[in-house]
Amino acid sequence: MTNKIYIYLKGEEELGEIIEKIQHTKEKEIILVVPRETKSLLHPVNLEILKNEVEKIKKKIYFDTEDEKLINLAKHFKIPLFLTDFEEMSIIDIKPPKKKEVEKEKKESIKFKKPRWQPNFSLIFKYLLSFIFILGLVYIFWLIFQARAEIYIETEKVPLELNEVITLKEGLVNPDYEKKILPATYQKIELLRTETVTTTGKAFSEEKPFLKVVFLNYLDYDLPLVMGTRLAFGDNIFRTTEKIVIPAKQNDEPGKKSTTAFLDTLKENNLQINQGADLKIVALENKKTSDGQLWSDVLKAKVESDYNLSQVSPIGLVLPEDITNVKIALENSLKSAVKTDLAIRYPQSFYYFDPSLVKVEIQNLSHDVGEKTDKISATGKATFETMITSQKEFNDFVKNLISQKILAEEKKFLIKNFSYEKIELFDFDSRKKTMTLGVVAKALLIPDLNTESLKNQIKGKSLTWVQDYFSKFEGVTKVRIKIFPQWKENLPFDLQKIKIVIQ
């Protein structure tokens, strides 16, 4: 039989230390005596590493241990267990071998041949039953100590309506609940605005469009033309609108000068003249220059752009309804601007706003009735006065009034939520800086149940007692109790194990 050596572990060794001990032994077979809870060998990865390292140095290891987890891991990785009765007895009183005892131990190890291990199913079954029994006891005790209860209380939602007159007043330090007066600040807003609308009337201009003309001078000197120079297209006569000087030609290119002419005599309806058409200069027609040239050859007039007398576009005309429309548009714009300004300035505040209370003054109209224009504008000023207070303070004030009404009716209820049905202005004195409002609010009430106080009353009590206890509360319609474990008949004494949910 191959020599074996025992290596006794203390249970604190790291995996590297164990591998190093195995590497330093001369024997090929090593019996590792492993105490319980040897952490370095209870991890599957470490056990696999150990097995690979032992195989690399061509040695074989056996585990001698009572640790069930290690036994199961060894079986999984096919590491032999040294568990025969003889071997277990032989290691009871063995101490780590000294240098003188090593050779003796090697000789003695040759005498014994390790018998083949056979599992003891009877012993395993007993251990398994004991383990299950202990686990069951632990679970029962855990249930007892972890007992908890959840109580769901369904309550009646009682509606209540508040109809009160509340005064906002500047200069007050604290709210006066008896007189229902709340501190506030007077605020005056003034805004200027201009609005423009399109006129709805239509009119046609009596003025004729101007003819655009360009003169061409082929002479070597400048030519002046007086204002009103007549130009003819057929029997239609135009007159220039200004005095001009036509420059002399340069580099064989005629001198050019553009101007405009108005229609003086119209002989054709729907007169149309195309760009580039020739015009006659009436005063120089069939006349010659001092050197004998015809003026029509050295001075020419041409149409610079198309002319169409029939394409006269209609223009707007101010009607009485246009004046009304621009005033209405300005008034609505100013009221909207005041509302927006309040919202931007006081996002967390309460204030009363009614568009009808915005004073609008029309300061200027751009046109009167009958004037010709496509647009008409109006400029105006808006003035608005109100009282400002904190939205939270206003809500708290109203909630306090609701609570006073609940107390007056001798009911034990709390406000779940409330909303404003209507707020209207009764009076506003900007000189005294007071505003009186009529406030209609609707609230939903629920029973006044203090959960911490309730827990102290019901802790440790039976489920029947708890049901009877809650049935005496006004507004409680149903109570559902969930307790864990389910076989318990009393609530826990620990307040943290009791949860109360009010629905």
Report the chain's terminal Cα–Cα distance, integer Å: 80
The pLDDT assigned to 83 comes to 62
**How far apart (Å, rounded) are the C-alpha atoms in residues 56 and 54?**
5
- Cross-strand bridge partners of residue 414: 446
Q: Give the H or E element holding residue 413.
A: strand 413-429
pLDDT tens, 383-395? 999 999 999 999 9
Residue 429 has pLDDT above 90, yes or no: yes
Q: Can you give 163-205 as a three-state secondary structure string?
A: EEEEEEECCCCCCECCCCEEECEEEEEEEEEEEEEECCEEEEC
The pLDDT assigned to 310 comes to 67
The pLDDT assigned to 143 comes to 55
The pLDDT assigned to 84 comes to 43
Lowest mean pLDDT among 238-242, 387-391, 434-438, 463-467: 463-467
pLDDT bin (cut points 50, 70, 90) of residue 114 is very low
Per-position DSSP letters for 63-88, written without gaps between them: EEE--HHHHHHHHHTT--B---HHHH
* Segment 429-450 mean pLDDT: 89
The first and second tokens of residue 223, run together, are 């030519």
pLDDT tens, 345-381? 999 999 999 999 999 999 999 999 888 888 999 999 9
pLDDT tens, 62-110? 999 988 888 888 888 888 888 643 344 344 333 444 444 444 444 444 3
Domains and CATH numbers, the chain: 4-118 (3.30.750), 211-311 (no CATH)
The pLDDT assigned to 379 comes to 96
The pLDDT assigned to 145 comes to 58
Residue 112 has pLDDT above 60, yes or no: no
Q: What is the mean pLDDT of the chain?
A: 84
Per-position DSSP letters for 336-387, written without gaps between them: HHHHHHHHHH-TTEEE---GGG-EEEEEEES--TT-B-SEEEEEEEEEEEEE
pLDDT tens, 195-245? 999 998 876 555 678 899 999 999 999 999 999 999 999 999 999 999 999
Residue predicted with more confidence, 116 or 370: 370
Whether this model's pTM surpasses 0.85: no
